[in-house]
């Protein structure tokens, strides 16, 4: 029996939503933190559009910023699935903190762990596990869904590189000290010139530009990066020169599962609020959850959430089992983002007028849900990926 067959058999024997004892304990610890420390700060962080530094510090102290990072580099050395559980549980309370942890683990740490040299791992993974926030800098003003239309350029100066250009929509940009950044070192070669670099905020020529004023996930910083003759040491190339396109594609495949986890967390939080509120709200002499029309809406919301959770968990289990999960990751992100929008919108409906004001939590869940269909690959790009894999079989 091949390794892939063994892996498939092992994953098929594990109910996707059934957690091991260690996974249950991990989920409980994250939920305790989210309820006890995060929830009291959510409203204020959303209002001022800024992450509380104490929350970031506690995420490090709890080991949430280096979940898959091997213990030898200061991380927890656990599974990708645990990272997904953490993002889900945090997003159930606040999707801004969910995406902070998601980007750190599924994009930045993942890229360094897979493609970094031993020296880079010792230098950067150790910091990212303890007290340094990371960010992933791929998007540009003219490079979104067409991710390889990068205009950021690299000039080889012998003992170092100079990078010039702008990056846009960079999550964690305010808090981050370490950036996995993509630029083209050989434009005439097209995407084969794209190279990944590890760039520190302190490097000469690097600056953070405009911070976006967003609809949702407001406490999560989204910024422009400006590189003006940014001096980057030669040893800070991540992987190989010209292999950045491969790093970006494969990293984002895992990142999409993380966004799926964020979306099911948002939907779960909204559903819990709707169930609680409809049990308290009295109309015509009884709680509104005693009316069949309301009951059916709650049942639809719960069913869609469970289906989305199964897709996300399946993709995460496949990743941990070493199976090809690209199609499943695209499906998970596509469907979970749609479910998050529908569930949060229905929650507002069930709250009535109260759902439309900031005194109640469901309007924030709805605002936070919208980004799921946009970042780390739009829904149309997920459909394209799924279709190509179905038709082409690759």
**Chain segment 145-184, per-residue pLDDT in tens:** 887 789 999 999 999 999 999 999 999 999 999 999 999 9
Lookup result for tokens 């169930």: 275
Structural domains of the chain, ranges and CATH numbers in brackets: 3-133 (1.10.540.10), 135-242 (2.40.110.10), 246-392 (1.20.140.10)
Residue 282 backbone dihedrals phi, psi, to 5 degrees: -100, 130
Q: Where are the beta strands (DSSP E) in the chain?
A: 133-137, 153-156, 160-171, 176-184, 194-200, 206-211, 222-233, 237-238, 282-283, 286-287
Summary mean pLDDT of the chain: 95
3-state helix, strand, coil in the chain (%, to 5): 60, 15, 25
8 Å CB contact between 376 and 256: yes
Token pair 């070192």 is found at: 185
Catalytic residue of the set 200, 224, 254, 376: 376
Core vs surface per residue 301-313: b (16+ CB within 10 A) or e? bbebbeebbbbbb
73: left (phi over 0), alpha (psi -120 to 50) or beta: alpha
Alpha carbon of residue 104 to chain centroid: 8
Share of the chain above pLDDT 90, in %: 93
Half-sphere exposure of 376 (CA within 13 A, CB side): 29
pLDDT grade for 80, boundaries at 50, 70 and 90: very high
**pLDDT value of residue 8:** 43
Annotation marks residue 376 as catalytic:
yes
pLDDT in tens, 174-186: 999 999 999 999 9
Cβ atoms within 10 Å of 372's Cβ, excluding its own: 27
| pLDDT value at 347 more than 80 | yes
- Residue 181 to residues 94, 158, 164, 194, Cα–Cα distance (Å): 27, 20, 12, 10
């Amino acid at each position: 029996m091949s390794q892939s067959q063994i892996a498939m058999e092992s994953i098929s024997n594990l109910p996707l939503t059934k957690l091991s004892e260690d996974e249950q304990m991990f989920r409980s610890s994250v939920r305790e933190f989210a309820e006890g420390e995060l929830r009291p700060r959510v409203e204020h962080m959303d209002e001022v559009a800024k992450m509380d530094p104490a929350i970031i510090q506690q995420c490090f102290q709890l080991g949430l910023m280096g979940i898959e990072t091997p213990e030898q580099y200061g991380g927890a050395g656990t599974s990708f699935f645990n990272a997904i559980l953490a993002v889900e549980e945090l997003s159930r309370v606040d999707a801004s903190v969910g995406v902070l942890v998601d980007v750190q683990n599924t994009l930045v740490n993942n890229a360094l762990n897979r493609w970094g040299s031993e020296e880079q791992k010792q230098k950067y993974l150790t910091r990212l596990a303890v007290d340094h926030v990371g960010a992933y800098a791929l998007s540009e003003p003219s490079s979104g869904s067409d991710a390889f239309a990068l205009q950021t350029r690299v000039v080889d100066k012998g003992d170092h590189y100079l990078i010039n250009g702008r990056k846009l929509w960079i999550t964690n940009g305010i808090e981050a000290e370490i950036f996995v950044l993509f630029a083209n070192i050989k434009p005439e070669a097209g995407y084969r010139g794209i190279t990944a670099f590890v760039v520190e905020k302190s490097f000469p020529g690097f600056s953070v530009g405009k911070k976006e004023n967003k609809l949702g996930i407001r406490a999560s910083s989204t910024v422009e990066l400006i590189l003006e003759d940014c001096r980057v040491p030669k040893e800070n190339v991540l992987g190989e020169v010209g292999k950045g396109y491969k790093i970006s594609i494969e990293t984002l495949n895992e990142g999409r599962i993380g966004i799926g986890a964020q979306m099911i967390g948002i939907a779960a939080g909204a559903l819990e609020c709707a169930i609680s509120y409809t049990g308290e709200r009295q109309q015509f002499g009884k709680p509104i959850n005693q009316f069949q029309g309301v009951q059916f809406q709650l049942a639809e919301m719960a069913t869609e959430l469970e289906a989305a959770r199964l897709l996300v968990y399946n993709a995460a289990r496949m990743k941990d089992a070493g199976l090809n999960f690209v199609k499943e990751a695209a499906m998970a992100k596509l469907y979970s983002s749609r479910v998050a929008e529908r569930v949060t919108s229905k929650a507002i409906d069930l709250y009535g007028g109260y759902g439309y004001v900031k005194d109640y939590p469901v309007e924030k869940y709805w605002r936070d849900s919208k980004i799921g269909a946009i970042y780390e690959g739009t829904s149309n790009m997920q459909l394209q990926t799924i279709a190509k894999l179905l038709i082409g079989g690759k």
